[in-house]
Amino acid sequence: MAPPAAAARRPSPDRGQAEAILTAAEGCFSRSGYAGASMREIAEAAGVSKGLLHYHFKSKEQLFVEVQIRAYERLSTRVRAAVAPIPGGKDRGLAALDALVSALRESNDIGVQAELWAAALSDRALRTHVVRLREFFRDLLVRSISEILGPDVARLGLTAEGVADLLWAVLNGTGVELAFGAPPGRADNSLGAFRVLAGVALDASEGQRADPSSPTTRAPTAPWR
């Protein structure tokens, strides 16, 4: 018998099965959407029984959230890799935005998530999972914005949390457009407009950094607050 330390280092068969299921489920959700993908289809794609699938993931809602969390972690790694060679400032911020949007568009995640949010409005159990997913992604955005943009956000009188919430709203709005079959190009137009605005804001931050004697920009207080 292997000593305890060696046994602890050995990969868990259960973990390998769970990863295979997550990989299969990601493909099924991307092709068929949340509503269209069935647990039976996912089990067949993963090469496991439906009983084993339910042993690892009690419901389709839980499985979808775990798929998305894994995808978001990969997405974070991809964005960080895209900006790693860029020292800072506007170019770094726009490179991060471009990597984020490109990855989401390639995976069809934006449209699938819009479908999920709509379904959660009338499904209390699903809503619980969606809230967990939303908070995970928001926290990931906040950490990434703080790391990638650093003091550029503060120079604009903003917070990483505020920028994350704005980006979240833009991505969700784009998802609704895609889910409801908006005319070709409309989603790209809205994301392109947001990119221009982000560039203008980062230009302002760079100007303030170049002239530290100039006052930090302060966003006006919203009238509804």
Whole-number pLDDT of residue 111: 66
CA distance linking residue 101 with residue 92, whole number of Å: 14
Task: Compute CA distances 185 → 3, 58, 109, 182, 190, whole Å.
Answer: 60, 39, 17, 8, 9
pLDDT tens digits, 51-89: 999 999 999 988 988 998 888 888 889 999 999 999 878
Pinpoint the alpha helices (H) of the chain: 4-9, 13-36, 39-46, 50-56, 60-83, 90-107, 109-120, 124-149, 151-155, 160-179, 186-210
Whole-number pLDDT of residue 16: 85
Average pLDDT over residues 151-163: 88
CA distance linking residue 56 with residue 23, whole number of Å: 13
CA 64 from chain centre, in angstroms, equals 13
Q: Are 89 and 83 in contact (CB under 8 A)?
A: no
Task: Compute CA distances 94 → 99, 101, 164, whole Å.
Answer: 9, 11, 14
Q: Give the position of tokens 């209390």.
A: 124
Closest CA to 109 of 178, 190, 21, 42: 178
Whole-number pLDDT of residue 9: 32
Q: What's the predicted TM-score (pTM) here?
A: 0.73
The pair of three-digit structure tokens given for residue 135, joined into one six-digit string: 């908070």
> For residue 137, with 0-12 CB atoms within 10 Å meaning exposed, 13-18 middle and 19 or more buried, which class applies?
buried
> What is the SS3 assignment for 36?
helix
- When mean pLDDT is compared across 9-18, 28-37, 151-160, 167-176, the lowest value belongs to 9-18
Q: Give the position of tokens 């709005």.
A: 173
The domains of the chain, with CATH numbers, are 1-58 (1.10.10.60), 60-225 (1.10.357)
Percentages (nearest 5) of helix, strand, coil residues in the chain: 80, 0, 20
